[in-house]
Chains A and B, each alone.
Chain A
Amino acid sequence: MALKDELRQFVTDNFMYGKPYKGFADDDSFIERGIIDSTAIMELVAHLERRYRITLQDKDLIPYNLDSVNSLARFVKSRLQPNYPGTRDEARIGLVT
């Protein structure tokens, strides 16, 4: 499954109980559409760290990185790049299947 589809699936299953909101688009803000509540962000971070074996620093925890399917995909993809300049983590090796 493509990264974006996989992320979209996780968000749909975990925050919308498998029933995507009407017209839920890849650029829609999770916050503005009420998809993520004030605590669910921790769930999302835990999933990214577990699934992709990446470590999110405090500076990463901003809506720019995590607030839509597209921004999530962009962020995760950037962390999976071999030339990612941050802390070395397993993510750079590739997607864990």
Chain B
Amino acid sequence: MLAHRGPDDTGFHAENGVGLAHARLSIIDLAGGHQPMSNEDSSLWITFNGEIFNYLELREELLGKGHKFATRSDTEVILHLYEEKGEDCVQYLNGQWAFAIWDNQRRRLFISRDRLGVRPLFFTRANNTFLFGSEIKAIFAHPGVTREIDVNGLNEVFTYWCTIPPTTLFRNIHELPPGHSMTVDAAGVAVRPYWDIQFEKSTGVVDPSREQAYADELLDLLIDSTQIRLRSDVPVGAYLSGGLDSTVTTALVKKFTNAKLRTFSISFDDPEFDESSFQKEAVRFLDTEHQDIRCSKNQIAEVFPDVIWHTEKPVLRTAPAPLYLLSRLVRESGYKVVVTGEGSDEMLGGYDIFKENKIRRFWESQPDSKLRPILLRRLYPYLQNVQNQPDAYRKAFFHINVDRNLQPFFSHIPRWQSTANLQTLFSDSVRAAIGGDIGHSKIRSRLPLSYASWDSFCQAQYLETKYLLPGYILSSQGDRMAMAHSVEGRFPFLDHRVVDFASRLPVSLKMKVLSEKYLLKRCAAGLIPASVAKRHKQPYRAPEACSFLQPAAHEYMDELLSPEQLRRDGIFDAPAVAMLQAKFCKGAAIGIKDNMGLVGVVSTQLLMHKFINHFEGRMASHGS
């Protein structure tokens, strides 16, 4: 069930009613890293997915304290660190992990997930048995687990674009949130946070003479975070999108790679999405050995069912599909590790939602100003429809009055509200079951105590980093698409030292006036082509729901979106979906809402088909 995550080796350990299993993707200590792994006296057993990038330094320290190592693996370092520090061991780790340690003496299972949610972990309880795994499908393989859609998860995806842990798309299946650990023992299950991103109170303008010092510090951090992410016993490649972030990470990898560096990218037939001219420029400048996969709408349609098998949740964008094709190319090229640029937009201020928030706040302070809303024209230059809209409308759409009660979410309210409007596609019974959480109480209840004192820009960064980053970017577009073809992504911008540095950084160095990622551009000067540094940020996008009109989608669209199937599944209102489809068929669906709506419907129906109606991979029940 999880062979795609670990095709190189499998292992099992069972004792006294506890069982650990592992599917291994061998990257460090290829010969000695078999798992589950125990310590010297077999009192601790670990199963671990991920990488600990500072394992060499930790190993040295532990050797100095008398620990004896049987392997060169990072896995064994976690075991000895746990012996030394107990559950606080996670505070010392720099990496991306989901691991479980069975502590035989304490009769306790200790499970942890990395700070930002690079590696996934899910769990449930069935018939008094605690079950966990990297993916939900592994849990569903157990005969005691029931498979039902959780409408709360649906509600969250059709509002926030992702589920909010512990909720998943499936009832009674829980996700361990990023930055959390948990214990399972006779006393029960306890989940605890061990880390959260903390921004500082609003800071003023930075003296220009200090900017270089900040840039130098960021560059030093990025060099080190990249360098330790090259620790591997197999060759490491890099994704190169042609944007600022991956060009910076590729430049840094290149700096520390003696061999010719292999880079990989996606290009599109449709010029609206294609960035290959910038990719070529970066390849020429950095002198990498480059491979590119050209992606068509039909290919997106073709792989979309497999994509949803891996995302295990609906998506509102097709963007994961090309990344699925890209990881296949990487694997076919003989690589299983790639360095990539995710996290930079969240931490260093790249997203348009931050710019939009800044302009809306600026306008809000002088609502009668005729000049301030002119800045709205600077938003979304790559979206033709938005650029073409009349000024009066542009103002009306962005000048959204946010209730006092919703002020903590000022930046995200337009996105959340417009996404939630898609729920009109749900059936009456699902809409009734959801009820609605217009105050966003789940997210509100978890805001840090100091949140209200942060700059509005940092509040937006927090919401994006805390929810969309792990819930969509690192999962549906990240881990799940890479691991579908046994490829591991590594993210220098998500080193927690970079994240801590960025959270202390004055806002003016993230977005100077309306120049995004100002400090990163400054510290990357000379490392990357000037044209890439100067280009306007174009977020990664792919051809959307029009892909489902392609021949490769006909069969599953006819089957899964038929009125009979929609009624049987009961999630969507069949006539409403028919109306949405009709809009696409006559070419009248040009809006973001329609596109997200159809992608959401198709992905949810595929999820129903693959996980509820026709799940393959159930183990035989013992005794039945």
Are the CB atoms of B393 and A14 closer together than 8 Å?
Answer: no
Give the complex CA separation of A13 and B392 in angstroms. Answer: 25
Of the candidates A18, A21, A61, the one whose C-beta lies within 8 Å of that of B393 is: A61
Are the CB atoms of B386 and A38 closer together than 8 Å?
Answer: yes
Q: Closest approach, in angstroms, between the C-beta of A6 and any C-beta of chain B?
A: 16
Q: Closest approach, in angstroms, between the C-beta of A62 and any C-beta of chain B?
A: 4
Taking A13-B579, A17-B576 as contacts, is the C-beta distance between A39 and B591 under 8 angstroms?
yes
Of the candidates B393, B417, B418, B591, the one whose C-beta lies within 8 Å of that of A63 is: B393
Give the complex CA separation of A42 and B42 in angstroms. Answer: 67
Are the CB atoms of A31 and B592 closer together than 8 Å?
Answer: no
Are the CB atoms of B386 and A39 closer together than 8 Å?
Answer: yes
Are the CB atoms of B392 and A63 closer together than 8 Å?
Answer: yes
Taking A17-B425, A19-B573 as contacts, is the C-beta distance between A42 and B388 under 8 angstroms?
yes
* Interface hub of B388, B390, B588 (most chain A Cβ within 10 A): B390
Interface size class on chain B is 20 to 34
Are the CB atoms of B390 and A17 closer together than 8 Å?
Answer: no
Asked whether A41 is an interface residue with its Cβ less than 8 Å from the other chain, the reply is yes
Asked whether B366 is an interface residue with its Cβ less than 8 Å from the other chain, the reply is no
Q: Residues of A contacting B397 with CB < 8 Å?
A: 31, 37-38
Asked whether B197 is an interface residue with its Cβ less than 8 Å from the other chain, the reply is no
Asked whether A40 is an interface residue with its Cβ less than 8 Å from the other chain, the reply is yes
Are the CB atoms of A38 and B579 closer together than 8 Å?
Answer: no
Are the CB atoms of A17 and B393 closer together than 8 Å?
Answer: no
Are the CB atoms of B588 and A43 closer together than 8 Å?
Answer: yes
Asked whether B580 is an interface residue with its Cβ less than 8 Å from the other chain, the reply is yes
Q: Closest approach, in angstroms, between the C-beta of B592 and any C-beta of chain A?
A: 6
Q: Residues of B contacting A35 with CB < 8 Å?
A: 421
Are the CB atoms of B421 and A18 closer together than 8 Å?
Answer: no
Q: Residues of B contacting A14 with CB < 8 Å?
A: 579, 583, 588
Asked whether A3 is an interface residue with its Cβ less than 8 Å from the other chain, the reply is no
Nearest CB to that of B398 among chain A residues?
Answer: A38
Give the complex CA separation of A17 and B588 in angstroms. Answer: 13
Interface hits, B561-590 → A, CB 8 Å: 573, 575-577, 579-580, 583, 588, 590
Residues of A in contact (CB 8 Å), total 23
Asked whether A34 is an interface residue with its Cβ less than 8 Å from the other chain, the reply is yes
Q: Residues of A contacting B418 with CB < 8 Å?
A: 34, 37
Asked whether B203 is an interface residue with its Cβ less than 8 Å from the other chain, the reply is no
Are the CB atoms of A43 and B591 closer together than 8 Å?
Answer: yes
Q: Closest approach, in angstroms, between the C-beta of B332 and any C-beta of chain A?
A: 38
Give the complex CA separation of A43 and B418 in angstroms. Answer: 17
Of the candidates B392, B577, B590, the one whose C-beta lies within 8 Å of that of A61 is: B392
Are the CB atoms of B424 and A38 closer together than 8 Å?
Answer: no
* Interface hub of A14, A37, A67 (most chain B Cβ within 10 A): A37
Are the CB atoms of A61 and B390 closer together than 8 Å?
Answer: yes
Are the CB atoms of A38 and B392 closer together than 8 Å?
Answer: no
Interface hits, A46-97 → B, CB 8 Å: 58, 61-63, 67
Give the complex CA separation of A50 and B397 in angstroms. Answer: 25
Taking A34-B421, A37-B593, A40-B591 as contacts, is the C-beta distance between A63 and B396 under 8 angstroms?
yes
Interface hits, B477-533 → A, CB 8 Å: none
Are the CB atoms of B389 and A41 closer together than 8 Å?
Answer: yes
Are the CB atoms of B396 and A34 closer together than 8 Å?
Answer: no
Asked whether A16 is an interface residue with its Cβ less than 8 Å from the other chain, the reply is yes
Are the CB atoms of B392 and A34 closer together than 8 Å?
Answer: no
Give the complex CA separation of A67 and B580 in angstroms. Answer: 22
Q: Residues of B contacting A19 with CB < 8 Å?
A: 424, 573, 576
Give the complex CA separation of A61 and B418 in angstroms. Answer: 21
Q: Residues of A contacting B575 with CB < 8 Å?
A: 17-18
Q: Residues of A contacting B580 with CB < 8 Å?
A: 17
Of the candidates A40, A42, A63, the one whose C-beta lies within 8 Å of that of B593 is: A40
Interface hits, A4-28 → B, CB 8 Å: 13-19, 21
Are the CB atoms of A62 and B386 closer together than 8 Å?
Answer: no
Give the complex CA separation of A67 and B397 in angstroms. Answer: 12
Asked whether B369 is an interface residue with its Cβ less than 8 Å from the other chain, the reply is no
Are the CB atoms of A39 and B385 closer together than 8 Å?
Answer: yes
Give the complex CA separation of A7 and B593 in angstroms. Answer: 20
Are the CB atoms of A21 and B424 closer together than 8 Å?
Answer: yes
Give residues in A with beta carbon < 8 Å to B.
Answer: 13-19, 21, 31, 34-35, 37-43, 58, 61-63, 67
Known: A31-B397, A39-B386, A42-B590. 20 other contacts (CB 8 A): A13-B579, A14-B579, A14-B583, A17-B573, A19-B576, A34-B417, A34-B418, A34-B421, A35-B421, A37-B397, A37-B592, A38-B389, A38-B393, A39-B389, A40-B591, A41-B389, A41-B393, A58-B390, A61-B393, A63-B396
Query: Which 6 A-B residue pairs are closest in the complex by CB-CB distance?
Result: A61-B390, A39-B385, A17-B576, A39-B591, A62-B392, A40-B591
Q: Show 20 residue pairs from A and B whose CB-CB distance is below 8 angstroms, ordered by the A residue.
A: A17-B579, A17-B580, A17-B597, A18-B579, A19-B573, A19-B576, A31-B396, A34-B418, A37-B591, A37-B593, A38-B389, A38-B397, A39-B386, A40-B590, A40-B591, A42-B389, A43-B588, A61-B392, A62-B393, A63-B393
